[in-house]
Chains A and B, each alone.
Chain A
């Protein structure tokens, strides 16, 4: 059964497929929210809200590209989240907090949730050192991404992390293909410059 049939079955009342969709795309949506918002803790709430919104309006959903649709919902939620955070005068991403979190106090960043001890999933057999290295990569990438403008960040995440074509990103973000190209190009250059400055590319 393909996704189109899942949606059709859901709209006919078979709710089991809603669970299947959530399970299938949870990690993808979480990852997007985590890197886009910069807060690992809030990423769970954002991912959850994405699915709740989808469930709320599923009757009116006309199937096209489900993953793209969910990412659009997540992207809009992240935009609202960052705007709200900006209004409250908080920094978009609290990397410094995350470091302090790792040292004992409770932080709310990616660094915090990917602390080496037992929490790292997807590499259960990995050594504590390997887990620590991965956590460091996520934390540093999150920090560098947070220094980019929000629109460049989302274009970079969608292009590099989700292998999306410029045309697909343009459709998702509602801008032209050339705008997406320029966002990805400028974002990549800025990110590379910062990575080199921080010796992130050396390892």
Chain B
């Protein structure tokens, strides 16, 4: 009974309405603010990715497609020949290193021809655009390399994770080198510098194949350490780049 009465009081309170005159006055104030309000469209994360996808050069996608095709052809050819794991890794490590250069080269375009200053003043600032493009380009590469690792793992009866580690090491290291060139060297974003980098990274990535025993399980911990260390250095490099972008140093450099 008491509970029912208490509920009844709440019901009555829920029906309370403001004084019409005061409400009208309050609404008039709010409407004034609405009239003065300028709506700035902030795209959602999905829209941001969609927008940035439109601005990535078709040449980049063509080259990425070429890399994928090359990896598939290599996989097919080597599976037919029944080669050893080291042979698979020899070629695919070179391609992985090239992919790293390609991904960072695409990101580096933001700083070419004095564009960074203009981009900094856009709706999405430079660091946001940079982040989205990094996620897109590096994400695509990691997907391709992961799929390829799966293919090699099936052909050679090796654990998939092990192959992925072997391929991600040259990929991460080439990313580090390319980001260093793109962010620290004036002219490091030029096509020629990137080509020289690609040749050097390819040669470095192919070097371990001269010593096939290095791909044995005994040395797996060395590869793992290199991968972890590489990821840490790359993350530190990215953090440093953000700092320089926020402070404006990278914009002065571009």
Q: Interface of A with B (CB < 8 Å)?
A: 10-13, 15, 18-19, 22-23, 26-27, 30-31, 34-35, 43-44, 47-48, 51-52, 55, 58-60, 62, 113-114, 119, 121-122, 134, 137-138, 141, 160-162, 188, 191-192, 195-196, 200-201
Which of B4-12, B107-115, B126-134, B146-154 is near enough to bind chain A? B4-12
Are B39 and A13 interface neighbours, CB within 8 A? Answer: yes
- Least CB distance, B131 to chain A, in whole angstroms: 18
Are A122 and B34 interface neighbours, CB within 8 A? Answer: no
Are A15 and B34 interface neighbours, CB within 8 A? Answer: yes
Neighbouring B residues of A62 by C-beta, 8 Å: 44
Residue of B nearest to A22 (CB): B30
Residue of A nearest to B7 (CB): A160
Number of interface residues of B (CB under 8 A): 34
- Chain B at the A interface: SS class: helix
Are B27 and A23 interface neighbours, CB within 8 A? Answer: yes
- Least CB distance, B93 to chain A, in whole angstroms: 43
- Least CB distance, A67 to chain B, in whole angstroms: 14
Which of B18-26, B206-214, B224-232, B238-246 is near enough to bind chain A? B18-26
Are B18 and A59 interface neighbours, CB within 8 A? Answer: no
Are A31 and B16 interface neighbours, CB within 8 A? Answer: yes
Number of A-B contacts (CB under 8 A): 105
- Least CB distance, B47 to chain A, in whole angstroms: 11
- Least CB distance, A161 to chain B, in whole angstroms: 5
Contact (A137, B39) CB under 8 Å given A19-B34, A62-B44: no
Q: Interface of B with A (CB < 8 Å)?
A: 2-3, 5-7, 9-10, 12-23, 25-27, 29-31, 33-35, 37, 39-42, 44
Are B23 and A30 interface neighbours, CB within 8 A? Answer: yes
Q: Could you name 11 residue pairs across A and B whose Cβ atoms are closer than 8 Å?
A: A11-B39, A19-B31, A27-B17, A44-B25, A47-B26, A48-B29, A59-B39, A60-B42, A188-B6, A192-B6, A200-B9
* A67 to B6 CA separation, bound complex (whole angstroms): 25
Residue of B nearest to A18 (CB): B34
Contact (A59, B40) CB under 8 Å given A34-B16, A48-B26, A52-B33: yes
Residue of A nearest to B6 (CB): A192
Neighbouring A residues of B14 by C-beta, 8 Å: 31, 160-162
Contact (A160, B10) CB under 8 Å given A44-B18, A55-B34, A121-B17: yes
Neighbouring A residues of B31 by C-beta, 8 Å: 19, 22
**Given A34-B16, A43-B18, A201-B5, 4 other A-B contacts at CB below 8 A?**
A31-B16, A35-B13, A137-B13, A161-B10
Neighbouring B residues of A201 by C-beta, 8 Å: 2, 5-6, 9
Are A18 and B37 interface neighbours, CB within 8 A? Answer: yes
Contact (A48, B6) CB under 8 Å given A15-B39, A30-B18: no
* A40 to B17 CA separation, bound complex (whole angstroms): 11
* A59 to B37 CA separation, bound complex (whole angstroms): 11
Residue of A nearest to B45 (CB): A62
Give which listed residue, A22, A59, A122, A141, contacts B9 with CB less than 8 A. Answer: A141
* A44 to B21 CA separation, bound complex (whole angstroms): 11
- Give 3 closest A-B pairs by Cβ, nearest first: A122-B17, A160-B10, A201-B5
* A191 to B42 CA separation, bound complex (whole angstroms): 46
Neighbouring B residues of A10 by C-beta, 8 Å: 39
Give which listed residue, A22, A26, A192, contacts B18 with CB less than 8 A. Answer: A26
- Least CB distance, B18 to chain A, in whole angstroms: 5
- Least CB distance, B33 to chain A, in whole angstroms: 6
Give which listed residue, B6, B27, B33, contacts A191 with CB less than 8 A. Answer: B6
Are A121 and B20 interface neighbours, CB within 8 A? Answer: yes
Q: Chain A CB within 10 Å — which of B6, B16, B23, B29 has the most?
A: B16
* A144 to B34 CA separation, bound complex (whole angstroms): 37
- Least CB distance, B25 to chain A, in whole angstroms: 8
Neighbouring B residues of A31 by C-beta, 8 Å: 13-14, 16-18
